[in-house]
Amino acid sequence: MMRVLLAVALMAASGAVNAHSAMVRAEPGPRSTVIADGRPVTLTLWFNERVEARWSAVSLERAGGEPVDGVGKPGGVDGEPKALRVTLPPLEPGRYTVRYRVLSVDGHVVKWGYEFTVADPVGER
């Protein structure tokens, strides 16, 4: 019986150790729509644990897979150690894919992405 309890305890502990960073929120968020107003957009990603900004990368692609130039380097967010922020250039209307690669504090690299849409401003349609 003691061996069974020890095995269960070890499995539970290893699950906690093997957890990886996961994005829990973003602005603009997955499947969201933002209005194109000609100004740069800030992209902020929040994770379930602290990530290392200096070892992280964020890129943006247009719908056809063409990279968007002018994406800033990921930086931390004051007072929010679980967040990364990048500045984006002014975006034309269309669909975009965010791709990110982060190093979580447990040493694992996590790669993922999502899409959002930029719409024409109201009144210019």
CATH number assigned to the domain comprising residue 91: 2.60.40.1220
Residue 124 lies in a domain: no
**pLDDT reading at 125 higher than 80:** no
Query: Which three-class secondary structure state does DSSP give residue 53?
Result: helix
Q: Mean pLDDT over all residues of the chain? A: 83
Q: Nearest Cα to 58, choosing from 37, 67, 77, 49?
A: 67
Say how far apart CA 76 and CA 83 lie, in whole Å: 6
Say how far apart CA 115 and CA 117 lie, in whole Å: 7
pLDDT tens-digit readout, 42-83: 999 999 999 888 899 999 999 999 999 999 999 999 999 999
**pLDDT reading at 3 higher than 60:** no
pTM, to two decimals: 0.78
Residue 106 lies in a domain: yes
Residue 55 lies in a domain: yes
Number of domains in the chain: 1
* Confidence (pLDDT) at 17: 45
What's the distance, CA 88 to chain centroid?
A: 14
Residue 31 lies in a domain: yes
* Confidence (pLDDT) at 1: 57
Pairing of strands 75-77, 80-88: antiparallel
Residue carrying the six token digits 């602005």 = 27
